[in-house]
Structure 1
Amino acid sequence: MASWADYFDLLPDPIFLLILNRVSDIKTLLRCRSVSKRFNSLVPQADSLLLRVDRVISASDDGVSFLSALFKSLLDLISVNPNRLPNSPSQILRGFDAIRSLRIELPSGDLRLEKGTSIKWFARFGKTLESCVIFAFRNGAEPSGDNGGLKTRVVWTISALIAASARHYMMADVVSEQHFLSHLVVNDRENEGTVVMDKDGLREFRESGGGEEINGCGVWWRNNRTMVPAVAMRMRHEAKLELSGGMEMEGATLVIVRPVGGKEHSGDEWLVSEAFGEEGVYAEAVERLLNSRSYILEMNSF
């Protein structure tokens, strides 16, 4: 009786690669390489990959970079010959020759704000920040001293921008070395924040030399994150939102961030729809906030 591996041998390579791209999970694909010589030769050609990180080690631990630590946590769970384990993120991904779409899922969000506060953000990057949409609020059941005053809203915004720039920074080596990569997403299981780099953004990053300098003076990087450029922030705020499902949000705040002097390729509505258009209660809240009065704040690079 033929084994399941024999049936796979009957599939043409293009169909087999479609199956591998559906699998996408790097941990599973690496295990597949040990099934047969054919699996071993075709797995590296998968072009749509997902890396789920199960634990995060501080970037300061033993001088290991944050991204290296993420990939180390993956390797701990993979049953392969320990004598052949790669020892860096770039070495792991060099095992895949045609990566075009890559998603990395972190175990949790980056922010730990005060109790009762929820925050969601969505950021686009090229060589540096292109745009960021931030939505934050307090649960109506939680008491609030300032009900999301301006100082609090600015803290929420800065916290989200720092988290986004840290995720962008940890992708630098991957972007520089994966020349076929045309779509990159870094998010988390709590769905708190998402960093996206599309084809144009990835090309811009590579053509800039990987982030060595900006304006010929000073480096892009600062404290293990990408420097945030001077930005203009369009902020909308409602002291209290009562949504159709009965949920109450205090200090509901929507902030749209763009670099000062940058081109506005998309309007506020499009950016908000891209970030939260399918998020249920959040979609309703941000749609309401789009109709609220807005005001502009500017912030120097940091």
Structure 2
Amino acid sequence: MASGPDSSDFFDLLPDPILLLILNRVSDIKTLLRCRSVSRRFNSAVPQADSLLLRVDRVISSSDDDDGVSFFSALFKSLLTSLHHLVSPPPTGKQPPENPTSAAPPPPNSPSQILRSFDAIASLRIELPSGDLRLEKGTSIKWVARFGKTLRSCVILAFKNGGDSTAADSGGGLKMRVVWTISALIAASARHFMISEVVREQHSLSRLVVYDRDNEGTVIMDKDGLTESRDSGGDVAAEETNAGGMWWRNNRTTVPAVGMRMRHEARMELSGGMVLEGATLVVVRPVGGGGEDDDEWLVEEAFGKEGVWAEAVQRLIKSRSYILEMNSF
């Protein structure tokens, strides 16, 4: 910046569209909020940024309970509860949980509260600090789910690391692969519920992606899905859990009745030398939401055409498939 009595702030020479382009390239919300203190012009321009990245550093407050219960452990308890209800339906006459839409508003550090500082968000990415699930040692899951008011599709790749001494079997059989699938669906539906208030409030939003730094799972909502979700109000299921002061309750969007097309190879060695034990590819859709002919483009859309995971799913998609159906949960 120039100095002297006739000096001016060079940013003042930039037209507003160029300044907004720079702010959109910055995208990180924490940085943008700091920029508001630079000048009056920045303070008025920052809320107009339309391409944002919100990095969530923690999902529980500083007042963690003594047991150190995290959102992720609470979510895993939710998984076990849901599995129990799937195999042991509640007795006749038991009332369903109350709809939590009347719950108290989230505290100020929730995504919806933070994003209220912005007026014209079109594209939003939310980065979570880690993956949601902690399954048995040596197991990895990669999933991509697309949502409207509820689940539209989910592509899941699960396997055991062949380099791990605990991965001596071929993935634990059908029962274990079903557990992998259900765990991914519950994780996806919990993330979808987490962003439901953001979807309702940000009317200019046309694309929303929620992912994690571990590259475990991704939730995607496009323009049509966002519109459908706002119009419907969503469908949620309550899972009350004490999770040490987390800023969103352990609720999730109801997973509809789904058809699952599963493909499996006991052992797969990829071109880079990586070995996958019990490699499993599952394509999940609501019942009546498409057939086997649609699987290939859903898989490509989820994992792309290049990279280690793309290679794995492209090989698995050619394997024999097995069809399973699951009721809403």
TM-score strictly above 0.5: yes
The residue identity in structure 2 corresponding to 1:193 is G
Of 136, 141, 155, the residue aligned with 1:114 is 136
How far does residue 263 in structure 1 lie from its aligned partner after superposition? 5.0
2:179 counterpart of 1:163:
no
How far does residue 244 in structure 1 lie from its aligned partner after superposition? 1.3
Per-residue CA deviation, residues 165-191 of structure 1 (Å, 9 max, x unaligned), is 000000011000100001000000011
2:253 counterpart of 1:226:
yes
User: Residues of 1 paired with 2:222 and 2:283: CA distance?
Assistant: 19
User: Residues of 1 paired with 2:292 and 2:28: CA distance?
Assistant: 33
* Structure 2: segments with no counterpart, 5+ residues: 66-70, 72-106, 240-250
How far does residue 26 in structure 1 lie from its aligned partner after superposition? 0.3
Aligned to 1:33: 36
Per-residue CA deviation, residues 178-221 of structure 1 (Å, 9 max, x unaligned), is 0000100000001100000000000000111x22xxxxxxx532
User: Residues of 2 paired with 1:156 and 1:248: CA distance?
Assistant: 19
How far does residue 87 in structure 1 lie from its aligned partner after superposition? 5.9
How far does residue 279 in structure 1 lie from its aligned partner after superposition? 5.6
Partner of 2:313, secondary structure, is helix
Of 279, 282, 296, the residue aligned with 1:252 is 279
The residue identity in structure 1 corresponding to 2:215 is N
2:284 counterpart of 1:271:
no
Aligned to 2:115: 93
2:240 counterpart of 1:237:
no
How far does residue 278 in structure 1 lie from its aligned partner after superposition? 5.2
User: Residues of 1 paired with 2:111 and 2:56: CA distance?
Assistant: 13
Partner of 2:253, secondary structure, is coil
* Structure 1: segments with no counterpart, 5+ residues: 67-84, 212-218
Judged with a 3 Å threshold, the aligned counterparts in structure 2 of structure 1 residues 289 and 88 are, in CA distance, closer, same or farther, namely closer
Partner of 2:236, secondary structure, is coil
Aligned to 2:246: none
How far does residue 275 in structure 1 lie from its aligned partner after superposition? 1.3
- Is the contact made by 2:305 and 2:311 (CA closer than 8 Å) also made in structure 1? no
The residue identity in structure 2 corresponding to 1:257 is V
Partner of 2:192, secondary structure, is helix
2:230 counterpart of 1:203:
no
User: Residues of 1 paired with 2:57 and 2:45: CA distance?
Assistant: 26
Cα root mean square deviation, aligned: 2.3
How far does residue 286 in structure 1 lie from its aligned partner after superposition? 0.7
Aligned to 1:174: 198
Aligned to 2:11: 8
- Is the contact made by 1:169 and 1:221 (CA closer than 8 Å) also made in structure 2? no
How far does residue 144 in structure 1 lie from its aligned partner after superposition? 3.7
Partner of 2:9, secondary structure, is helix
Partner of 1:28, secondary structure, is helix
Per-residue CA deviation, residues 118-160 of structure 1 (Å, 9 max, x unaligned), is 1100000000000000001111123346522100100000000
The residue identity in structure 1 corresponding to 2:10 is Y
How far does residue 57 in structure 1 lie from its aligned partner after superposition? 1.1
Equivalent residue pairs, number: 272
TM-score by length of 2: 0.78
Judged with a 3 Å threshold, the aligned counterparts in structure 2 of structure 1 residues 161 and 86 are, in CA distance, closer, same or farther, namely closer
How far does residue 262 in structure 1 lie from its aligned partner after superposition? 2.7
Per-residue CA deviation, residues 2-57 of structure 1 (Å, 9 max, x unaligned), is 26981111000001100000000000000000000000000000000000111221
Of 169, 173, 188, the residue aligned with 2:212 is 188
Partner of 2:266, secondary structure, is strand
Of 127, 130, 145, the residue aligned with 1:105 is 127
